[in-house]
């Protein structure tokens, strides 16, 4: 959804997710094929009419908080563990969550006198992170979520840049934070999650702060609870990906965050029976808004994944209905499932049953969960939605999950749009699209070419206030039209169809321009190359070659050594090169001549990546190593 979201903690290998043996022994009972003509007619009428669900109209996150606390107090909200190896998840209700939020906010306001101050939150996803963020959003504070994977110098930089007066942190980052504390003279308090320690110097335990707040509430200190939120005031500061020295700070208001909830409510029909599975870090807007604020507004529960190595067990333990993920993880799920199906020699029957159940579903009969129950079991048993974000995904993977019966939703946005700009309506999924422009928003193409493609300009009620302390940078990306409407230059290339569905084809910065003005988008070629089983991962770029006027379209690839060994046996580096090059030549047959890949490099080791697990293209080209194969 957002090309700037930092999604994953660093990992070198995707998790090996275990699925039950695919049996597919169930026979279809004719009773399962009774058609509900009434529901079918209503469904057809809804789609035909182009309607959307009734949207919510929140102006602030505090309005959302009061609504949920008034309606869902006894519901389970967070499922988390103190230790990933604990046998059972701890369950926190909305009531307990609200009690902790109100105590923390009262203490920060009444005892620690942090009214109006910027407060950094840095740490892994855990119950205390949720409590901290909600507290800052509904009180007289400015929230500054920070990437827990930053090195010491960048932690220091971002805290100083944000002018933070307090830092709420997890034990995970304690050692790195400790090394720079003396360089943070303006920070009044360092508050460590999961600790009971009383205030000593500038350091105090999170639990102690909450207990102090409860005491203040018992003595009728309602200064936090009575604070009125200005919907359009600066409320949260998010730093875009990249090093903090050159990353931009995005200023967001409570209204802009609330409008994400309003936008999703029109396209996806959530209920308090739904459970989100939190895999992605909370420090960026996608997970903190769509993976936290949206479920909170709907009375849903959130199960916290305890780390990628535990993902399979956690899915089965918590039975989520919704998974928010990046393409890398979704592709891993797909490949693991397909590998299991192939081992079970059930690939033909699964493909056939997908066709049959698609026909049945079109006639009003949905038996997909029954037919594919073994596959669903590996995903927790209750999965209804998969939401793909951060980057394009192979269309065939999205279609496969749709054929399985999972609603495959894609979205589009940036940190600058808080983050939603477009999202797939669950009642009108169009796999391959990045989603439909959100209600009350417009996405248009600037100076479209003959194919209708160009830079996407975004005007939505989720668009940021501006870049933090950088008016020039703000003016470079936001322009006003004659009617005073703000338009954001996304830097993304794509087109919008007649129904306002958005399609992304590339990034301006990544585009390879030929001598005759033709544009080659690496992402398009990388998607085609993703079908090659012999390639684990790759990037396409325009290589400068002495004596050549044109940039040479080059693929830098990491071989899938295990698959190559399985298919071809032990091979030398040169033989592996030839195997992959022959596969690339087949891909070249699918594209016009000027887009054809003309050079191959075998990557030595892993790609250099952001914490989003996206390749740092410029850094990779400057510092990455490739094998010399003669």
pLDDT band at 308 (very low <50, low <70, confident <90, very high): confident
| Reduced 3-state DSSP string for 127-170 | HHHHHHHHHHHHCCEEEEEECCCCCHHHHHHHHHHHCEEEEEEC
Half-sphere exposure of 504 (CA within 13 A, CB side): 31
- Between 145 and 4, the more confident residue is 145
**pLDDT tens track for 46-78:** 444 458 999 999 999 999 999 999 999 999 999
Residue 20: its pLDDT value, please? 59
pTM for the whole structure: 0.84
Q: What mean pLDDT is predicted for residues 282-289? A: 93
Query: Cβ distance 141 to 114 under 8 Å?
Result: yes
- pLDDT over threshold 80, residue 178: yes
Residue 539 has pLDDT above 70, yes or no: yes
* 169 neighbors 193 (Cβ within 8 angstroms): yes
**pLDDT value at residue 264:** 97
253: left (phi over 0), alpha (psi -120 to 50) or beta: beta
Please report the pLDDT score of residue 114 as a whole number: 98
Pairwise CA distance, residues 254 & 234, whole Å: 8
State both tokens at 575.
Answer: 């033989």
Domains of the chain: 30-50+274-507 (3.40.50.12780), 62-76+93-228 (3.40.50.980), 511-623 (3.30.300.30)
Query: pLDDT tens digits for 558-597?
Result: 999 999 999 999 999 999 999 999 999 999 998 888 889 9
High-pLDDT (> 90) share of the chain, %: 72
Residue predicted with more confidence, 182 or 34: 182
3-state secondary structure 85-109: CCCCCEEEEHHHHHHHHHHHHHHHH
Residue 405 has pLDDT above 90, yes or no: yes
Instruction: Count CB neighbours of 397 within 10 A.
Output: 21
For the segment 590-608, the average pLDDT, to the nearest whole number, is 90
Which residue in 336, 333, 329 sits closest to 279, CA to CA?
A: 329
Whether the predicted pLDDT of 339 surpasses 70: yes
Span 281-310, average pLDDT? 95
Mean pLDDT (whole number) for 159-163 = 96
6 pLDDT more than 50: no
Structure tokens at 136: 């800052």
Given this model, what pLDDT does residue 7 score?
A: 34
| 510 vs 467, residue with greater confidence | 467
DSSP string, 255-309: HHHHHHHHHHHHH----TT-EEEE-S-TTSHIIIIIIIIHHHHTT-EEEEP--GG
Phi-psi bin for 302: left (phi > 0), alpha (psi -120 to 50), beta? beta
Reported as half-sphere exposure (CB side, CA atoms, 13 A), residue 232 has a value of 1
User: pLDDT tens, 197-207?
Assistant: 999 999 999 99
Report how far residue 204's alpha carbon sits from residue 209's, in angstroms, rounded to the nearest whole number. 7
The residues pairing with 446 across neighbouring beta strands, listed in sequence order, are 455
DSSP assigned state of 605: S
Q: How confident is the model at residue 9 (pLDDT cuts 50, 70, 90)?
A: very low
pLDDT, averaged across the chain: 90
CA 20 to chain CA centroid, nearest Å: 27
Task: Give me the sign of the Cα torsion angle 369, 372, 375, 377.
Answer: positive
pLDDT band (50, 70, 90) for residue 41: very low
Strand pairing of 385-388 and 501-507?
Answer: unpaired
Give the start-end residues of each E strand in 174-227. Answer: 189-192, 203-205
């Amino acid at each position: 959804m957002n090309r700037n979201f930092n999604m994953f903690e660093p990992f070198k290998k995707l998790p090996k997710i275990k699925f039950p043996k695919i049996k597919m022994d169930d026979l279809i009972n004719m009773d399962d094929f009774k058609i509900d003509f009434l529901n079918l007619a209503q469904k057809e009428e809804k789609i035909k009419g182009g309607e959307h669900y009734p949207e919510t109209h929140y102006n602030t996150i505090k309005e959302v908080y009061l609504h949920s606390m008034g309606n869902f107090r006894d519901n389970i909200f967070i499922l988390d563990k103190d230790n990933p190896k604990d046998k059972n998840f701890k369950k926190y209700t909305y009531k307990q969550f609200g009690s902790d939020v109100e105590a923390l906010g009262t203490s920060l306001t009444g005892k620690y006198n942090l009214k109006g101050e910027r407060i950094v939150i840095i740490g892994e996803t855990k119950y205390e992170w949720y409590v901290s963020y909600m507290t800052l959003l509904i009180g007289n504070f400015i929230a500054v979520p920070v990437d827990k994977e930053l090195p010491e110098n960048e932690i220091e930089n971002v805290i100083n840049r944000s002018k933070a007066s307090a830092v709420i942190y997890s034990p995970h980052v304690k050692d790195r934070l400790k090394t720079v504390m003396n360089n943070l003279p303006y920070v009044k308090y360092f508050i460590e999650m999961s600790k009971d320690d009383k205030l000593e110097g500038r350091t105090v335990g999170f639990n102690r702060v909450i207990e102090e707040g409860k005491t203040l509430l018992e003595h009728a200190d309602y200064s936090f609870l009575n604070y009125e939120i200005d919907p359009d005031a600066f409320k949260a500061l998010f730093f875009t990906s990249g090093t903090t020295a050159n990353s931009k700070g995005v200023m967001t208001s409570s209204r802009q965050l609330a409008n994400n909830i309003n936008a999703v409510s029109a396209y996806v029909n959530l209920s308090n029976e739904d459970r989100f599975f939190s895999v992605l870090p909370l420090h960026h807007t996608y997970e903190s808004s769509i993976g936290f604020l949206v479920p909170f507004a709907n009375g849903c529960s959130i199960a916290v994944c305890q780390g990628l190595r535990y993902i399979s067990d956690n899915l089965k333990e918590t039975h989520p209905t919704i998974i928010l993920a990046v393409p890398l993880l979704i592709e891993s799920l797909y490949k693991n499932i397909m590998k299991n199906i192939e081992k079970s020699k059930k690939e033909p029957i699964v493909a056939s049953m997908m066709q049959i159940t698609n026909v049945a579903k079109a006639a009003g009969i949905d038996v997909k969960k029954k037919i594919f129950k073994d596959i669903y079991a590996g995903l927790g048993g209750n999965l209804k939605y998969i939401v793909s974000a951060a980057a394009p995904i192979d269309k065939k993977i999205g279609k496969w999950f749709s054929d399985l019966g999972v609603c495959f939703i894609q979205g589009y946005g940036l940190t600058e749009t808080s983050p939603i700009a477009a999202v797939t309506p669950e009642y009108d999924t169009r796999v391959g699209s990045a989603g439909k422009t959100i209600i009350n928003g417009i996405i248009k193409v600037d100076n479209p070419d003959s194919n209708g493609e160009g830079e996407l300009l975004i005007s939505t009620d989720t668009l940021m206030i501006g870049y933090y302390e950088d008016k020039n940078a703000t003016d470079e990306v936001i322009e006003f039209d004659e009617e005073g409407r703000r338009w954001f230059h996304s830097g993304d290339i794509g087109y919008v169809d007649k129904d306002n569905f958005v399609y992304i084809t590339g990034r301006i910065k990544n585009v390879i321009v030929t001598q005759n003005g033709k544009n080659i988008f690496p992402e398009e070629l990388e998607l085609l190359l993703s079908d090659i089983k012999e390639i684990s991962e790759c990037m396409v770029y325009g290589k400068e070659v002495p004596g050549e006027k044109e940039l040479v379209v080059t693929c830098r690839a990491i071989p899938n050594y295990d698959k190559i060994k399985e298919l071809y046996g032990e091979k030398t580096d040169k033989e592996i090169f030839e195997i992959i090059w022959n596969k690339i030549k087949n891909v070249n047959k699918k594209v016009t001549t000027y887009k054809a890949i003309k050079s191959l490099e075998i990557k030595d080791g892993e790609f250099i990546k952001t914490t989003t697990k996206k390749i740092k293209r410029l850094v990779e080209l400057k510092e990455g190593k490739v094998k010399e194969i003669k």
